[in-house]
Amino acid sequence: MKVLVTNYVHPCLISGLEEMGYEVTYDQNFDPEQLEAILPSLHGIIINTKIKMTAQRIKRGKQLRFIGRLGSGLDIIDLSTAQQCGVAVFNSPEGNRNAVAEHALGMLLCLANNIRRGDAEVRQKLWNREENRGFELAEKTIGLIGFGNTGQALARKLSRWALRVTYTDPYVLDIPEDLANIESVTINQLQREADIISLHVQLTEETEKMINEEFLSNCKKGLVLINTSRGAVVETRALLQSLENGHLSGACLDVFENEKPHSFTTEEDQLYDRLYSLDNVVLTPHVAGWTHASLRKIAETLLTKINAL
């Protein structure tokens, strides 16, 4: 049985698949245009964002038994077609949920304490203490939109801090016992009460551009927004407008609507230039779940799920 792995993975994933009896093609520079030709011979494929498993591709893979996703987002896979064709779909949010939670918290603390600006100023031999006076998280309310793997991981870290943690998620069914004290609220209550909102949702028709002008206008003035989920969940233009007019006091963004600067249109180039120029944002290049530990844990998670197939 043949498996194609198209992205850099921990070596234990390759050796583990081989121990299960799979013949593995491991090509980090795999050209997506070659996929159509080899799909009929594949029994499994493990992908990241550079390859989308469309309905057409899934149907072409007549022998496919599984599709493995390095990470959590399933928007690159046509799930309904996979189900119709009997192809198992495995993602691995258990592998990077801790990394994402730590990153979100780190970005928030960086923003709250003006660490990015302070670091740049000290390197220029500037000593602006009063101008870099920050704010504390204690006694604030943080609202988590989405309470799955990463939402729960962040809540677990914050539950011992002296702040109120709330969440909204219509799809979560079972809350772990150690998080039973985290308060479930409606989306409207979260908008009214949260000083900080952190997004932990999949990209779906329901969540695309969910954070738009209307949503933000109904949030508490001075809100800080954190997005480590998917860029298209937030409408960049609306976010920028809220930051520029002062309705939002800051944002921590690891993901963006367009994550390929070389493909920016003239309009996008101007839009992102305005965002990048703001002093009250912390920006990273979609690396929230990108740690050495998560590389291995993602591999181990997929191996466990594939082995149980």
- Catalytic positions are 230, 259, 286
CA atoms within 13 A on the CB side of 213: 5
Name 134's Cβ contacts closer than 8 Å, sequence gap at least 6.
112, 113, 114
Q: Is 153 helix (H, G, I), strand (E, B) or coil?
A: helix
Cα separation values, 280 from 175, 190, 221, 288, Å: 34, 22, 15, 19
* Tokens standing for residue 182: 């985290």
Cβ pair 12, 24 in contact under 8 A:
no
How far apart CA 133 and CA 156 sit, in angstroms, is 28
Q: Are 92 and 70 in contact (CB under 8 A)?
A: yes
The DSSP output letter for 233 is G
Q: How many CB atoms lie within 10 A of CB 244?
A: 13
Helix and strand counts by DSSP (H, E) for the chain: 12, 12
CA distances (Å), origin 136, targets 45, 302, 307? 46, 39, 46
